[in-house]
Amino acid sequence: MKSGFFYGWRIVLIALIGQFLSVGSLLVYCFGVFVKPLAEAFKTDRGSISLAVSLVSVGVALGSPISGRLIDKLGGKKVISFALIGMAICLFALSRVQAPIISLYICYFLGGFIGSGNSPLAYSRIVANWFNQNRALAIGLGNAGVGLGALLIPILAQFLIQSADWRQVYILLSLACVLVALPLVHFLLKNSPADMGMQPQGQLEISATESSAMSIGAAAATRSFWLLSLSILCVAVSCTGIMTHLSAMLTDRGLSPQIAALAISLFGGASLVGRIANGFLADRFSAPLVAAGIFGGAAVGILLLWLYPTGFTVYLATVMIGLAMGAESDIMPYMVSRFFGMRSMGTVYGFVFSAYTIGAAFGPMLFGVGFDKTGSYQFSLLVGLGLMIVAIGLMLVLQKNTKAE
In this predicted model, what pLDDT tens digit does every residue of 330-344 receive, in sequence order? 778 888 888 887 777
Compute the distance between CA of residue 83 and CA of residue 33 in angstroms, rounded to an integer: 24
To 10 degrees, what angle do helices 76-94 and 46-74 make?
160
To 10 degrees, what angle do helices 102-115 and 46-74 make?
30
Backbone angles phi, psi at 129, to 5 degrees: -60, -30
Residue 87, pLDDT score: 94
Residue 86, pLDDT score: 95
Cβ pair 46, 35 in contact under 8 A: yes
Residue 203, pLDDT score: 59
Read off the CATH number of the domain in which 396 is found.
1.20.1250.20
Compute the distance between CA of residue 35 and CA of residue 155 in angstroms, rounded to an integer: 14
DSSP 8-state assignment for residue 215: P
pTM score, whole prediction: 0.76
Q: Which class for 82: exposed (0-12), middle (13-18), buried (19 or more C-beta within 10 A)?
A: middle
What domain range is 336 assigned to?
Answer: 8-190+209-404
Residue 315, pLDDT score: 81
Judge whether 198 lies within some domain: no
Compute the distance between CA of residue 163 and CA of residue 66 in angstroms, rounded to an integer: 40
Judge whether 185 lies within some domain: yes
Judge whether 376 lies within some domain: yes
Residue 115, pLDDT score: 92
Judge whether 338 lies within some domain: yes
Cβ pair 114, 56 in contact under 8 A: no
Q: Please provide the DSSP assignment of 266-279 as one string.
A: HHHHHHHHHHHHHH
Compute the distance between CA of residue 317 and CA of residue 238 in angstroms, rounded to an integer: 13
According to DSSP, the residues that pair with 131 across neighbouring strands are: 201
Residue 207, pLDDT score: 41
Render pLDDT for 204-214 as a digit per residue (tens, 0 to 9). 444 444 445 67
According to DSSP, the residues that pair with 201 across neighbouring strands are: 131
Compute the distance between CA of residue 335 and CA of residue 326 in angstroms, rounded to an integer: 15
- Enumerate residues 6+ apart whose C-beta is below 8 A from 221: none
How far is residue 215 CA from its own chain's centroid? 24
Residue 1, pLDDT score: 43
Query: What three-state secondary structure class fits 201?
Result: strand
Query: What three-state secondary structure class fits 131?
Result: strand
Q: Please provide the DSSP assignment of 315-378 as one string.
A: HHHHHHHHHHHHHHHHHHHHHHHHHH-STTHHHHHHHHHHHHHHHHHHHHHHHHHHHHHHSSSH
Cβ pair 337, 135 in contact under 8 A: yes
Compute the distance between CA of residue 370 and CA of residue 247 in angstroms, rounded to an integer: 16
Judge whether 204 lies within some domain: no
Judge whether 53 lies within some domain: yes
Nearest-5° angle of CA 206, CA 209, CA 212?
155
Q: Which of 81, 64, 66 has the alpha carbon at shortest distance from 21?
A: 81
Cβ pair 250, 259 in contact under 8 A: yes
Cβ pair 347, 116 in contact under 8 A: no
Low-confidence ranges of the chain (pLDDT < 70): 1-4, 203-213, 255, 309, 311, 328-329, 402-405
Structural domains in the chain (count): 1
Within 10 Å of residue 2's Cβ, how many Cβ atoms? 7
Judge whether 2 lies within some domain: no
In this structure, which amino acid lies at residue 18? G
